[in-house]
Structure 1
């Protein structure tokens, strides 16, 4: 693999409602499978992702600006266990979510958030983010994402999509 350099004008934007959106920086194909990277800007108080997990990768969130919340579910992935927790993380904070950990995240109430999101090892997920943008903008139903869970290693928690 050669070094990867992505200039701001080379990043692909994916619009989300409320002026939010993704900047797609590097997919696994770009990095020899080492990492996938995107920058996610969330509107004040908006959800970033509902409960889901990844079976093959660790997801790393660095809060670039604003404040985000992260819900980290217990080992069994269900509500109400003693090890469920919600963490609020401001700019400069880091959250590392290991494989098979059910998690959800969003911008804190009344606050915007900007997150650098890394997935390692990388999974080619740009197609997922494009489809998610269409879903969030009301152009496609959520159900279009369901058959793609294995392909993109985004597995929605049962009953939580």
Structure 2
């Protein structure tokens, strides 16, 4: 791989409920496995991802706007615009927009994994078009390993 450019109008958009959306910027195959990147807009108080971990990859989030609640290893932490969170492989985490706040995040997964199909499926799941169970057999493929979300829901008051 030499270099890679994605113009704003070239990114695939996966619509989410509540005005949210994934903007798919780079998949592992686009970057020779170096990284995967997406931008995620969340409506006020919307969940971004339930509790999970990545076995092979680190995940970095930059909060572009709003406030995001990150559930990191069992602890709820709020991060505002301009803040960054780095999550190494194996660390359980979840995240969502804080109550009353919409949020915009830029996320990078390193090394890159081909996950665009994961985000497309997740969009269908969140829109009620597909069951969450369809993601379970794909956990190794997408390096997204789901955990019990009870503590995450309780921390968020749900």
Q: Give the alignment's TM-score, normalised by structure 2.
A: 0.93
Quote the Cα distance in structure 1 between the aligned partners of 2:86 and 2:13: 24
Identify the residue that residue 149 of structure 2 maps to in structure 1: 160
User: Structure 2 CA distance, aligned partners of 1:160 and 1:46?
Assistant: 15
The separation in 2 between residues aligned to 1:39 and 1:86, in whole angstroms, is: 22
1:25 match: secondary structure: strand
1:30 deviates by 0.3
Match of 1:60 in 2: 60
Distance 1:160 1:64 in 2: 26
RMSD: 0.9
Following superposition, the deviation at residue 132 of structure 1 comes to 0.3
How many Å separate the matches in 1 of 2:67 and 2:41?
Answer: 11
Q: Partner residue of 2:101?
A: 111
Match of 1:122 among 102, 112, 127: 112
Secondary structure of the residue that 1:29 maps to in structure 2? helix
Mind listing any 5+ residue stretches in structure 1 that lack a counterpart? Answer: 74-83
Q: For residues 115-160 of structure 1, give each alpha carbon's deviation from its aligned partner in whole angstroms, at most 9, with x where no partner exists.
A: 0000000100000000000000000011100000000000001x32
Report the 3-state secondary structure (helix = DSSP H, G, I; strand = E; otherwise coil) of the residue aligned with 2:69.
Answer: strand
**For residue 33 of structure 1, what is the aligned residue in structure 2?**
33
Counterpart in 2 of 1:79? Answer: none
- The reply to whether residue 5 of structure 1 matches residue 5 of structure 2 is yes
Q: Output one character per residue of 1:32-59: Cα deviation in whole Å (capped at 9) or x when no partner.
A: 0000000000000011011000000000
State how many pairs are aligned: 150
How far did residue 105 of structure 1 move? 0.3
Q: Which runs of 5+ in 2 are unaligned?
A: 151-158
Give 4+ residue runs of structure 1 displaced > 2 Å after superposition: none
Partner of 2:134: 144
